[in-house]
Amino acid sequence: MSDQSMDWTRRALLQGAGGTLLASSLPRSLKANRETQSVNALLEPIRSEHDLPALAVVVLKRGKIVGQGAVGGRKYGDATPVTLQDKFHLGSCTKAMTAHLCAVLIEKKKLNRNATLAKALPDIPMHPSYRNLTLDHLLSHQSGFPNESWLKGHDFQETRRFPGSPQEQRDAYIRALLKEAPDAPPESKFIYSNRNFTVAGVLAERAMGLAWEELMSKYLFRPLHITSAGFGSMGTPNKLDQPWQHFMAGTARTPIPPGPNSDNPSPLAPAGTVHMSLPDWAKFVQDHVYGLRDEEAQLTAESYKYLHTPLFGGEYMGGWIATNRGWGGGRVFTHAGSNTQNFAVVWMAPLKGFAVLVATNQGGDSAAKACDKAAATMIQTFL
């Protein structure tokens, strides 16, 4: 969920991978069955080539898991194998979930997408440029907020030092960031900024009087029967019961044990601190693959159209980049995420009823390239 996440995602949009890529109530049957193909034999050479601790994939097609696999280990150099039920950090792929939560609350008439920040946050002094921002600006990265998550004149670690509960920390954080001048006038340019989704998360918190984490559990995870979701680093401190994260500095790899400071801080949570198993992540993605035409989907067709339609002349909305690909039959959607210690990417082709989800427990360029290659391989194999 670092500020590098969009760099990797946009590179994928422009370059291509393997010549193919890149140029609730969910259906209750979304689970592996006898026809599900193991893709471990395809994944292991990719994991080995890029020297990753672990690599995992789930492939959806026409409402079923048609391919899945998990190779490697929970910790680099340790023999404990990773499993498909292990939890992977999704980084900025969390953004689509925060946007989905906002759509739930809009449908419940608890949140108004047209309400200005001045109206929604009347007790917070803010720079005049922000007073007329709406949820549409936030979910499209069209607010003018700076790309950096940290406040001007501070470093990233300062975002850990706001006092109180996670909800109180986010409130204090947006009070500070809303005083700063924008880097561009609203609607004038796309600037990818975690700040947008933190403010959107605070709007949801204020609308419901509950912390973003509670809202996500109540209005997204439980309705979609997602049972493995959590926030922050995966696993129990001093144990190897889930994948450890790995940070790369050049060729030097550092395993990151689970702990309260092993992920991005609470003020940035709505922009990207969710972790879960890939089969559970697939439940959320499947809801969006069929959202426009599935009566069992959690939201109305109008809400999915809202979340999937770029505004202000851009290509980004609601945690998704929209682009066209021949393999997807036209319009497809993608997003990548990384807290610099993990990497995840999803490609979704609603016109084909298809999606591929990939994750690894290491950050850096090698992780991004491996996930791109794995996604391209799955597209070649299953489409």
167 and 207 assigned to the same domain: yes
Provide CB contacts within 8 A for 291, sequence distance 6+: 297, 298, 299, 301, 303, 304, 308, 350
Rounded average pLDDT over 192-219? 98
* For residue 4, pLDDT beyond 90: no
Give the percent of the chain with pLDDT over 70: 92
Domain boundary among the residues 171, 192, 215 is at: 215
pLDDT, tens digit, for every residue of 159-205?
A: 888 999 999 999 999 999 999 999 999 999 999 999 999 999 999 99
Lowest mean pLDDT among 10-14, 223-227, 302-306, 321-325: 10-14
State phi, psi for 118 to the nearest 5 degrees.
Answer: -60, -35
Q: Is residue 224 part of a domain?
A: no
The SS3 call for residue 21 is strand
Q: Is residue 86 part of a domain?
A: yes
For the record, the structure tokens of 194 come out as 């975690």
pLDDT of residue 30: 72
pLDDT of residue 155: 78
Residues 183 and 145: beta-carbon distance below 8 Å: yes
| Closest to 3 measured CA to CA, from 322, 271, 357, 361 | 271
Residues 233 and 35: beta-carbon distance below 8 Å: no
Q: How confident is residue 5, by pLDDT bands cut at 50, 70 and 90?
A: very low
Rounded average pLDDT over 280-294? 91
Q: Is residue 279 part of a domain?
A: yes
56 and 73 assigned to the same domain: yes
Residues 36 and 67: beta-carbon distance below 8 Å: yes
Q: Is residue 135 part of a domain?
A: yes
CATH number for the domain harbouring residue 250: 3.40.710.10
pLDDT of residue 292: 72
How many residues would you count in the chain? 383
Q: Is residue 221 part of a domain?
A: no
d(CA 155, CA 136): 29
Query: Tokens 């060729």 map to which residue?
Result: 251
Q: Tell me how many domains the chain contains.
A: 2
331 and 254 assigned to the same domain: yes
Beta strands 37-38; 64-72: pairing state: parallel
pLDDT of residue 35: 86
Tell me the residue range of the domain where 331 lies.
Answer: 5-93+229-382
The SS3 call for residue 246 is strand
* For residue 20, pLDDT beyond 60: no
274 and 168 assigned to the same domain: no
88 and 163 assigned to the same domain: no
31 and 85 assigned to the same domain: yes
Q: Is residue 220 part of a domain?
A: no
Please compute Rg for the chain using Cα positions.
Answer: 19
205 and 242 assigned to the same domain: no
Instruction: Indicate the pTM of the whole model.
Output: 0.93
Residues 58 and 68: beta-carbon distance below 8 Å: yes
Q: How confident is residue 376, by pLDDT bands cut at 50, 70 and 90?
A: very high
pLDDT, tens digit, for every residue of 86-101?
A: 999 999 999 999 999 9
Q: How confident is residue 25, by pLDDT bands cut at 50, 70 and 90?
A: very low
Q: Is residue 222 part of a domain?
A: no
pLDDT, tens digit, for every residue of 352-365?
A: 999 999 999 999 99
Q: Is residue 349 part of a domain?
A: yes
| Closest to 138 measured CA to CA, from 176, 95, 179 | 95
Mean pLDDT, rounded, of the chain: 92
pLDDT of residue 10: 38
70 and 103 assigned to the same domain: no
Which residue would you say has higher pLDDT here, 298 or 292?
298
Which residue would you say has higher pLDDT here, 305 or 16?
305
13 and 103 assigned to the same domain: no
Which residue would you say has higher pLDDT here, 10 or 272?
272
pLDDT, tens digit, for every residue of 136-151?
A: 999 999 999 999 998 8
Provide CB contacts within 8 A for 140, sequence distance 6+: 190, 310, 311, 312, 314, 316, 317
pLDDT of residue 141: 98
Q: How confident is residue 33, by pLDDT bands cut at 50, 70 and 90?
A: confident
Strand boundaries in the chain, DSSP class E = 37-38, 54-61, 64-72, 87-89, 230-231, 245-249, 252-256, 274-277, 316-317, 320-325, 330-337, 343-349, 354-360
198 and 273 assigned to the same domain: no
pLDDT of residue 295: 66
Q: How confident is residue 28, by pLDDT bands cut at 50, 70 and 90?
A: very low
Q: How confident is residue 215, by pLDDT bands cut at 50, 70 and 90?
A: very high
Q: How confident is residue 300, by pLDDT bands cut at 50, 70 and 90?
A: very high
